[in-house]
Structure 1
Amino acid sequence: MARIRSRGDADLEKEGFLNRHPHSSEDDSNDTFEDDEGNPSVASSRATSASYRPMLVNKAYSSNRSSSPSYLGRMPRSIMRYLCLGVALTLVIFIFSLVRMSYVAEQEVQKAIEEEKIKPRPPPWEDFPFLQRYYGGIRSLVPVVNNVPEYPRKEDEVEWEKLNITEEVVENLTPEDAKERRKRAIQSSKRFDPYPSYTSPEYVAKYGEKVDCYLDAEDTIEIPRVRMYEGIPRGFPDMVMGSAKLLGLRDDICYDRFGRLGPYGLGYSINRGGSGAQQEGEREGADLVWQEAPEVDWRAVHWADAQQRCVLANNHRFKALPEKPRIDTFRAMPIGTVYNKRDDMADIEAMPAKPPEAPKRPKTGSEKLPRTAVVIRTWWDYPYTPEDKIYLRSLISELTMLSGGEYVVHFLVQVKSNDVPIFSDDETYERVLRDSLPEEFRGMGTLWTEKQMELMYGGLEETNMRGLPVHGVYRSTFMPMQYFAYQHPEYDFFWNWEMDIRTTHHWYHFFDSVTKWAKQQPRKLLWERNSRFYVPSEHGEWEDFSQMVRIQTEHGTNSIANLWSSLNRANKDLNDPSSKKTPTGAMKQQGDKPIWGPERPLDDDVAMDTDPTPPTSFEKDKYTWGVGEDADLIVFNPLFDPDGTTWLLTDDTTGYNITQGRPPRRTAIITASRLSRKLLVTMHKETALKKHTMFSEMWPASCALQHGLKAVYVPHPEYIDRKWPTNYLASVFNGGRNGATGGARTSVFGEREHNFRGTTWYYNAGFPEVLWHRWLGMKFNNDGGEQFEVAGEGRMCLPGMLLHPIKRVELVQEGRRADQAG
């Protein structure tokens, strides 16, 4: 039986246990006993024994013995501060490290792109194959009706390469026999004469008798005429945009370099007054150029005198010159020397006496011809090459001399330094002007400066768009043209032309054809037709294209570029009952309001008394308003709406109230254009009086739009260097709103302008350089050249085409570059 311990034994055990926990507190013991005393049951049960209360009470045995010491639950404040500071610094360092790594990675990627280690994805057109038949020669000419073009071809047609079976294969000729056959097959070039029949009774009765013009005062030096070949090289591609036949241009002929530029110095020696270039290589038939008229020694020609003699001799055919007093050079912007007389009668009296057999006075007609100025834009230190001089000679010869003064060529020369005091005195002006032009063109120029424009058109708002001044030549190319037109009221029209434009067209034939075509265009839906590229292989005849434009304008198109298209799901109006009935993905189209009369800005009063108004409503007009009316603006690229596009300069408008939005505007890339005096004077008044202007390529078209003037985009023949699918090409170039070129982010003008690289007419196109150099018989990118022509089909023969840009062609003459000649 187990022994039962007595209370005394138990107390001894407790005492031993308590003695093992010396960490006691008097306060804790007192608290314990106070609790016991407050409990009667406990007190009564222990009252029978005097030894129940221990002599020493330990805290560990009390009711609070489970509490942990205070120093184990609290962190010292100094340690906590250091810990938080360390965490914050770590985060900051981590963030800065990420930013630094991102910046370094971006720089490495950019550097790799620049080094072409990482090439961006090329645009789709770079995968299209190059066309080869642009470089056919005069030995492969065929009538245009028999030509099977290499491009464009429809999907169901056999590829041109598979049809290219030559006579060597058919007749099994040896290479020597084939070469002899090609030599025998070459045809002779023919003189090209696009001018009216000046001697016909009908012409003389209408405009008077035209007096022939010569290069010298004795009327002995005649200008050789341009020559052409009938037909085009076999397989030559058709124009992909525009139409020669539509404009009245010859599309059944082609020009080689000697027939086109030989009259102006190409192909004969410097000792005989030529350029000294292209005297070697393939020259068969070239000498026919100088068969009727001998080679001209261009070193002895002074164009200012020759042009003035020509204009004065035919003065009876044109409108009378306005009376205008002679004022200082700063305000007058005189043409040529400051000592030139403005009175035409005085000039006629000062001319050398005619031989006795010359008629005393030419016959006059019932009507008068308008006077047109061709203004070449250049600058005071422009480096003129022999090829530039050939280009300028062709302009003056074909437009002025051979037409009897219908056009007059001038140079508008920018003095780029504002520190040169050209208006301080006449001698300074004369010296700077003389040094700015080659000797044969001296006396035909007008100087201007940006500081002069700043003084003439003061008070304009300075927005510094792209960091450039509003009076600068980049943003305000037409300011000097406006003032030039204001100071020269004798001219009805002004061609704004550039030094880097070339053409294989005859200049008179081209200018006359596009001017007449523009004159016959009706105003109804004209702005809408102006806003689209004409692609004949997709659009058919011009009448079909015009009908398509009408439908697109009235009803719209279902494309992503159409703001109201169902393809733009974000634009579906849930509150519109029609949209609720229309299933998702169905077509919902909305057209555009056609332009009819002036399009005024919302917050600006720009109306002028001379602004035309429509004679009838849009619906009642039968495409008659505007027919027979001279165009106030003629351009060679579509007049697109820049609003909503990615074009960089769409917001470069100055002086307008834009509270309710930008003013209505249109843009034509490349400033080469014809402007009427009415349009230029309107632009002048807008800038001088109302303080309005816009970016250079936007200002003339926008001013015409706001004042109701007639503007026409001429769909001239344009070619492309690669085999684009034509439906894809049409969708790219007319990729804007409702089938137009502009009005949407999908427009080809802006971020997508790289598509123009292979065309023949755009400010950054590369194809014109290739065509022009190889047509001149030069190698380009190791293609073409003398051996290519001699061993192949002969020298190239191109139909009429307008090319831009052509930069500084370095002709090779007698073993050295022509621009290094003395």
Structure 2
Amino acid sequence: MSGLRNLNPLRLFATGNRGRFSYERVPNGSPFDFQKYQWPAAARRISATRVLSLAIAGMVVLALLGGGGYRRVQQYREAPVAEEHNVGFYWGEYYQLNGFYNGIRTLVSPANYVAQNGYNITVPQVMDASKSNLPKEPAFDPIKYDPYPFRDASYLRDHEQVHQCYLDEGEKVAAPDVYAYPAIPQLLPQPFYGGYKELGMKDDVCWERFGRLSAYGYGYGPAEGGLGLGNESERAGSEKVTDKVGRVDYRDMDWGAAQRRCHEKNKRRFATDQPSGKTRVPRHAYVLRTWTGYHYSDQQMLALRAMINELSLKSGGQYDVHFLVHVKDSQLPIWASDELYQKTLQDNVPKEFWNISTLWSERLMEMYYPEPFPDNFANMAGASVHGVYRSAHFALQWFSQQRPEYDFYWNWEMDIRYTGHYWDFNEKIGDWGRRQPRKGMWERSRRFWIPGYHGDYANFTAFVESETRDKDVAANDIERSGPMPVWGPVQNFPHTGMLPPPLAALPPHSYDEDDYQWGVGEEADLLVFNPLFDPSLTNWVFSWDVTGYSRSLPIPPRRAAIITVARLSKRLLDTMHEETWRMKHTMFPEMWPPAVCLHHGLKALYVPHPVYFDRDWNVETMDRNFNYPKNIWESPFGWGEHNLLGSSFYYNSGFSGALWRRWMGQSEGGEGGARWEEEGSGRMCLRPVLHHPIKHEAGSVA
């Protein structure tokens, strides 16, 4: 069994002359090309003919695999699909959920709300969204969404006062507010895994695009300092927001100057020595990874302005937003010439973000973390260890050393969107992480929490604890890379040298003696947004991209989380930096921070944020396939990743981008757009949803 678990056939192709290996080329468990799949709103089932085609396709893929041809599998996957838009996955049999598209004319109070989910046990309800059956205006008025506790007496008793921040130096334009509806569209589906209440977030409000984005230039034109988006949109009731927000003129905006002024006004909150014994507020760097040649669409500009306003200015300088700009031309000596540096910056970043941008290049990383980096187990990317594809974390480590004043660094991607409020999301998940005990954290974090199957998070915790102690389960996990349960630093594996773990990470007592108390109140060193899985139990293609550990010894234990989006502590980044430059250790970006936490006993957690699916999954089947794949080939973190195509958050999701574009008022697959909304139930209103990936935002509003 151990031989099978350690088998990774893709290692056979780990040669440097095959070009860049990308996720898009990894087999999905089907010969069909998922990029051709469409995400329509209408509820449908696929035919028996398609089920038969799945069976035939499966046999063909097995035959191709048996023939030893990864390249031949790829050729088959790229062949034309016989029936357009048909994808033969078993979940294609589930009803599609169309309640996402019920608009603001269907708003109901939380007490009267009914979710559309039938969980493949009952047929999902469908609403008649014809305009004649619905009110012309929403039944509720939008309200200002203000999650900040800074005026509360309880907050001021323990913290320094927060002084208001402005967009302009003359303090004429206050940081604007955003608006949400205190209601839910009837039949809006529930998320399948993760949840709002566990994180302390509100699930009784929804966001539509005017309330969410008018503060940032949506709904008015460039002549007034806006972006022009939304002028042709369905806009019933939108004046209740736009009249309050007004028209913020962004034509001469300088976010760097605004952030500095805000921090200066509020710097006493962050001082190490607090007056009157008040509590110091930690500072955060919210780092957006971008690159030269990146196109900043108008929709992107709205999202970026929302991040800076809500995280930094409205929070009294608690966050600073930074652009970490990858200069793709490594031959440019940006470190040698201020003039060249400024020209490169100004040619590639919109002016309003110039003063929050930092340039870096792979050549700079080569000088900062010089060769050699010996003993790589398998370079599936076929790229340099300093290449951004394999070591995007090098730049973040470097940035944390150049800007050491922050307690936490958020590693954020440009293709993420969020329909909710940024500060509310960031703070609530940070609070959640602080409340979590260390006992069972690795075991809980490797699983998807599915409330419809597991119940609440406390019940899920008890279930994982019972499973951890089950001798039969433990026997099946005997080949895991590391002990079960994990308790403190994992360094008891053969190695040629590692940095010692911090004393604070050593358990104060045994696992059995702990009553879920150790770690409560401790800040998390790593917060990720997909499970922290053990790559040795999957056929994830980058599982063996481990460098600097002797190949004469077994590959070290490790963990990974798909998508590099995360919150990392300064302590974690300092440890990663030291392990990299001093010990020459590194791994693939999605594996390196979790593995460092595992080895050094740092607090790492998977945040169970709400994730939606376009299909009405049976939750028992979801638990079995997501949490208990029969073998490594079926893991969702490998060839079973097709299970997440219809989710709102995964690297290869197709549904996520389609849902975002529809929410923005665009037509998608022949559905949506202004006329669709005007003749139906109005524009969409979603609960807070973290969308990834948004690969494009171009579409029609007609």
Q: Same fold (TM over 0.5)?
A: yes
In 2, are the aligned partners of 1:224 and 1:289 still within 8 Å (CA)? no
2:382 aligned partner, one-letter code: G
Aligned partners of 2:73 and 2:663: how far apart in 1? 43
How far the C-alpha of 1:222 sits from its partner, in A, is: 1.9
Aligned to 2:79: 114
User: 1:574-653 alignment to 2 at 5 Å?
Assistant: 593-600=484-491, 601-608=493-500, 610-611=502-503, 612-653=505-546
Match of 1:774 among 649, 662, 679: 662
Aligned partners of 1:647 and 1:109: how far apart in 2? 17
1:593 aligned partner, one-letter code: M
Aligned partners of 1:399 and 1:388: how far apart in 2? 16
CA deviation map 1:514-552 (0-9, x unaligned): 000011000001100000000011111112111111121
Aligned partners of 1:109 and 1:315: how far apart in 2? 56
Q: Cα 1:112–1:410, aligned 2, differ >3 Å: closer, same or farther?
A: closer
How far the C-alpha of 1:280 sits from its partner, in A, is: 2.1
CA deviation map 1:34-91 (0-9, x unaligned): xxxxxxxxxxxxxxxxxxxxxxxxxxxxxxxxxxxxxxxxxxxxxxxxxxxxxxxxxx
CA deviation map 1:614-654 (0-9, x unaligned): 00111111110000000000000000000131100111100
Q: Classify the secondary structure of the residue corresponding to 2:568.
A: strand
Match of 1:413 among 325, 340, 343: 325
Match of 1:150 among 113, 116, 119: 116
Matched, 1:129 2:103: no
User: 1:715-794 alignment to 2 at 5 Å?
Assistant: 715-736=608-629, 744-794=632-682
Higher relative contact order (CA 8 A, sep 6+): 2
2:562 aligned partner, one-letter code: I
How far the C-alpha of 1:592 sits from its partner, in A, is: 6.6
Moved more, 112-121 or 307-316: 112-121
Match of 1:264 among 216, 226, 251: 216
In 1, are the aligned partners of 2:208 and 2:663 still within 8 Å (CA)? yes
In 1, are the aligned partners of 2:119 and 2:616 still within 8 Å (CA)? no
Aligned to 1:289: 241
Q: Cα 1:364–1:298, aligned 2, differ >3 Å: closer, same or farther?
A: farther
1:701 aligned partner, one-letter code: P
Matched, 1:488 2:441: no
Match of 1:311 among 247, 258, 263: 263
Aligned to 1:679: 572
2:565 aligned partner, one-letter code: A
In structure 2, the gaps of 5 or more residues are: 1-66
Moved more, 259-268 or 695-704: 259-268
Match of 2:176 among 224, 229, 237: 224
After TM superposition, the runs of 4+ consecutive aligned structure 1 residues lying more than 6 A away are 106-109, 118-121, 362-365
Match of 2:425 among 507, 510, 513: 510
Aligned to 2:413: 498
* RMSD between aligned residues: 2.8
Aligned to 1:385: 297
Q: Cα 1:121–1:426, aligned 2, differ >3 Å: closer, same or farther?
A: closer
Q: Cα 1:131–1:178, aligned 2, differ >3 Å: closer, same or farther?
A: closer
Aligned partners of 2:195 and 2:645: how far apart in 1? 20
Matched, 1:554 2:506: no
Q: Cα 1:190–1:811, aligned 2, differ >3 Å: closer, same or farther?
A: farther
User: 1:692-703 alignment to 2 at 5 Å?
Assistant: 692-703=585-596
Q: Classify the secondary structure of the residue corresponding to 1:593.
A: coil
In 1, are the aligned partners of 2:373 and 2:547 still within 8 Å (CA)? yes
CA deviation map 1:458-482 (0-9, x unaligned): 1212744431111111111111111
How far the C-alpha of 1:365 sits from its partner, in A, is: 6.5
How far the C-alpha of 1:455 sits from its partner, in A, is: 1.5
In 2, are the aligned partners of 1:267 and 1:277 still within 8 Å (CA)? yes
Q: Cα 1:553–1:787, aligned 2, differ >3 Å: closer, same or farther?
A: same
Match of 1:467 among 382, 385, 400: 382
User: 1:23-62 alignment to 2 at 5 Å?
Assistant: none
Moved more, 456-465 or 377-386: 456-465
Q: Cα 1:669–1:296, aligned 2, differ >3 Å: closer, same or farther?
A: same
Match of 1:237 among 168, 181, 189: 189
How far the C-alpha of 1:747 sits from its partner, in A, is: 1.9
User: 1:364-383 alignment to 2 at 5 Å?
Assistant: 366-383=278-295
CA deviation map 1:736-790 (0-9, x unaligned): 48xxxxx944422111111110001111101111111111111001111111111
Q: Classify the secondary structure of the residue corresponding to 1:183.
A: coil
2:500 aligned partner, one-letter code: M
CA deviation map 1:425-472 (0-9, x unaligned): 222222212222101111111111111111211121274443111111
1:115 aligned partner, one-letter code: P
Q: Cα 1:110–1:689, aligned 2, differ >3 Å: closer, same or farther?
A: closer
Q: Cα 1:185–1:216, aligned 2, differ >3 Å: closer, same or farther?
A: closer
CA deviation map 1:180-206 (0-9, x unaligned): xx126532111110111x233432332
How far the C-alpha of 1:685 sits from its partner, in A, is: 0.3
Aligned partners of 1:466 and 1:715: how far apart in 2? 30
Aligned to 1:713: 606
Aligned to 1:59: none
Identity of aligned residues (%): 41
Q: Classify the secondary structure of the residue corresponding to 1:254.
A: coil
Aligned partners of 1:711 and 1:593: how far apart in 2? 16
Matched, 1:438 2:356: no
How far the C-alpha of 1:111 sits from its partner, in A, is: 7.0
Aligned to 1:248: 200
Q: Cα 1:492–1:176, aligned 2, differ >3 Å: closer, same or farther?
A: closer
CA deviation map 1:228-251 (0-9, x unaligned): 111211111111000111101110
Q: Cα 1:208–1:448, aligned 2, differ >3 Å: closer, same or farther?
A: same
Matched, 1:188 2:141: yes
2:540 aligned partner, one-letter code: W
Q: Cα 1:227–1:144, aligned 2, differ >3 Å: closer, same or farther?
A: same
Larger radius of gyration: 1
In 2, are the aligned partners of 1:240 and 1:536 still within 8 Å (CA)? yes
Q: Classify the secondary structure of the residue corresponding to 1:656.
A: coil
CA deviation map 1:317-358 (0-9, x unaligned): 10359xxxxxxxxxxxxxxxxxxxxxxxxxxxxxxxxxxxxx
Moved more, 595-604 or 371-380: 595-604
In 1, are the aligned partners of 2:311 and 2:318 still within 8 Å (CA)? yes
Aligned partners of 1:805 and 1:221: how far apart in 2? 33
CA deviation map 1:665-697 (0-9, x unaligned): 000000010000000000000000001000000
In 2, are the aligned partners of 1:130 and 1:723 still within 8 Å (CA)? yes
Aligned partners of 2:120 and 2:541: how far apart in 1? 36
Match of 1:276 among 221, 228, 247: 228
Aligned partners of 1:725 and 1:384: how far apart in 2? 39
Q: Cα 1:419–1:160, aligned 2, differ >3 Å: closer, same or farther?
A: closer
In structure 1, the gaps of 5 or more residues are: 1-101, 169-174, 322-361, 565-570, 572-590, 738-742, 816-822
Q: Cα 1:489–1:121, aligned 2, differ >3 Å: closer, same or farther?
A: closer
Q: Classify the secondary structure of the residue corresponding to 2:181.
A: strand
Q: Cα 1:129–1:209, aligned 2, differ >3 Å: closer, same or farther?
A: same
Q: Classify the secondary structure of the residue corresponding to 1:690.
A: coil
Aligned to 2:13: none
User: 1:316-335 alignment to 2 at 5 Å?
Assistant: 316-320=268-272
Matched, 1:159 2:123: yes
Q: Cα 1:812–1:390, aligned 2, differ >3 Å: closer, same or farther?
A: farther
Q: Classify the secondary structure of the residue corresponding to 2:263.
A: helix
Q: Classify the secondary structure of the residue corresponding to 1:374.
A: strand
How far the C-alpha of 1:126 sits from its partner, in A, is: 2.1
User: 1:56-95 alignment to 2 at 5 Å?
Assistant: none
How far the C-alpha of 1:113 sits from its partner, in A, is: 6.4
Q: Cα 1:543–1:603, aligned 2, differ >3 Å: closer, same or farther?
A: same
Aligned partners of 1:725 and 1:423: how far apart in 2? 55
Matched, 1:404 2:319: no
